[in-house]
Chain A
Amino acid sequence: MSDTFFSGAPHWRWLIILYFFVGGLAGGACFLAALLDWFGRPEDRPVVRTGYYVAAWGALISGLLLTIDLGRPLRFWHMLFQSANLPALMFKGWSPISFGAWAILLFGLFSVLSALGAMAEEGRLQTPAFHLLHRGALAKLVVAVAGLLGFFVAGYTGILLSVTNRPIWADSPWLGALFVASGASTGAAALMLLAPGRGATPRSLEWLSSFDSNALVVELLVLVVFLVSLGSVNRVWVSVWGLLLLVGVVGFGILVPLGLHLKPARFGSLATRPVVNAAKLVLLGGFLLRLATILASEGIDRYRVAVGM
């Protein structure tokens, strides 16, 4: 038996599952938007702007979810400042939850700046200062930082789970990589769904669809490696969470959307709007991945208590 089976579950449930999903999606969308901002073409601007909006809202919602989930929400700032030694900063480079709190804060700041730049670009903000956020070197720097922080936020949640003593989470070092890939695929999916409403061109959507296929392949490969690395701990998947992982995540969340991207004609009624349907399924798969991974480990606590461990 893995030594992880003797630990207690932290009761990270729906708010944290939702945060992992929203944070991953926002981070992935921001990374893709920043990439298109730097290396894309003028026709990609609607996707770029949509990415920054998704990132900004995602970061704000993430911060809210994390705060509400605390046992003492009004003490959220204790993660950022030493409460007994103000204004000294609270930061532990070796604790994912500590550097994650800073990452969320900074990601929120830079993604909101990027979103303000996007609003200025659309003419919704007239103040000249905001135009610095979508034109010139400063804007490029801001979006680059936002994009990198986005990918960091998408992946650190998996590292956070690995740096525990819980079954599944601490039994493999691959969760961070898996969440990065899932963040990228769900970020692309969110853009595929939202960007057409903001004037995205077919060529931009085609690139997103192509990238999403690649991200799904990477996600599938990392998922397989993750499961192999779990070894004997895999017996925990003989449960409803295992079924969810196999059918919901691998089947509907990865293989079907991959098929819709590559061979849409084979998918009957789903093929009428392949990109949209693939994007919806990728989002569902991304959510179910977090759900199954977190609740499979949380559920083991009931077993532990039941047998008096």
Chain B
Amino acid sequence: MPEAMGFFTDTTVCIGCKACEVACKEWNQLPAENGGIRELSGDSYDNTRRLDGIHWRHVRFIEQFSGPYNGRWLMMSDVCKHCVQAGCIEVCPTGAIIRTEFDTVVIQSDVCNGCRACISACPFGVIDINAVAGTAQKCTLCYDRLKVGLEPACAKACPTDSIQFGPITELRARAQKRKDQLRAQGVEAQLYGADPQGPLGGLNSFYLLVDEPEVYGLPRNPKLPSRNLKQSTSFSVASAAVLGVLALVGLRKRRMDEQPPSLS
């Protein structure tokens, strides 16, 4: 069985060229939005704005400016995290979402029926409906390319190697080395999702960040949706039991009221 594969995205070398977005769209034949007439965001140079069913890669622009000459750009090529413990797989009622031999997470479009449970289960807001297909879609980590020994289109197109593809263990070692290098230079670098003991058992697409995760639109502590299942079920059963008892007590009271008073 092949080893776990994934992405390490070093955000410090991303230049926001969006070549990855284009390569992803082209390889996966994803349709244009609104017939290609893009609505500009109006407050950012980032007009893609988010990941969804027709944008499986999104170069996020974080424009931290407090004046025209005081600030910085942060850029991050965002994608499905291919979580080791994936919330989308957990909830999918059709079995359309599977884990592949590369330890990646793929939605089988011919099985998905568009119920959209996976969209709300993903803690990262990665999945959305592809209106053309009528099914939920997201990055497949170019499963078709991996099967024939090619690297994913986005990593291939990235001109700065911000997106690095390879075996997860190798990528983790590389990421740690890069973090240490940046820290030695005084940069507050941190890895997000690289720890297999961390949230969701680690992410097979992880990041090197130079600010807090929330700044990049990433939850600090992503969780599985099933965390609420037991408690929510218990409270519902308790509520049903209380109502059932109240109904029975009401019936008993009615019966008692109907009985003639005892003479003794």
Contacts and interface: CB of A to CB of B under 8 A. Distances in A.
**Cβ-closest 6 pairs across A and B:** A71-B114, A176-B236, A75-B113, A177-B239, A8-B125, A3-B219
Given A8-B50, A9-B120, 11 more contacts: A8-B127, A70-B113, A71-B114, A94-B226, A160-B117, A163-B225, A166-B120, A176-B233, A179-B236, A211-B250, A308-B62
Interface residues of B, number: 70
Contacts of A272: none
A62 to B, nearest CB: 14
B232 A176 contact: yes
Given A79-B93, A163-B226, A207 B217 contact: no
A164 B120 contact: yes
B96 A308 contact: no
B10 interface: no
A156 to B, nearest CB: 8
A210 B250 contact: yes
Interface residues of A, number: 73
Contacts of B93: 78-79, 90, 92, 95, 97-98, 101
B44 A308 contact: yes
A83 interface: yes
Interface of A: 1, 3-12, 31-32, 35-36, 39-41, 70-73, 75-76, 78-79, 82-84, 90, 92, 94-98, 101, 151, 155-156, 158-160, 162-166, 169-170, 173-181, 184, 203, 206-207, 210-211, 214-215, 218, 222, 304-305, 308-309
Interface string B234-264: 0110111011101110110011000000000
Interface in B200-236: 214, 217-223, 225-226, 228-229, 231-233, 235-236
Contact of B248 (A6, A35, A98): A35
Nearest to B48: A308
B134 interface: yes
B49 interface: yes
Contact of B229 (A40, A41, A159, A304): A159
Contacts of A84: 111
Interface in B50-64: 50, 52, 60-62
B123 interface: yes
Nearest to B249: A214
A163 B91 contact: yes
Contacts of B49: 305, 308
Contact of A176 (B122, B235, B251): B235
B50 A78 contact: no
14 contacts: A4-B123, A10-B116, A72-B114, A78-B112, A90-B93, A94-B90, A97-B93, A165-B121, A174-B232, A179-B236, A206-B254, A211-B246, A218-B242, A309-B50
A181 B129 contact: no
Given A72-B112, A155-B239, A180-B236, A82 B95 contact: yes
Contact of B60 (A32, A159, A308): A308
B135 interface: yes
Nearest to B231: A173
B128 interface: yes
A279 B56 CA distance: 48
A73 B233 CA distance: 29
B79 to A, nearest CB: 14
A164 to B, nearest CB: 4
Contacts of A76: 113
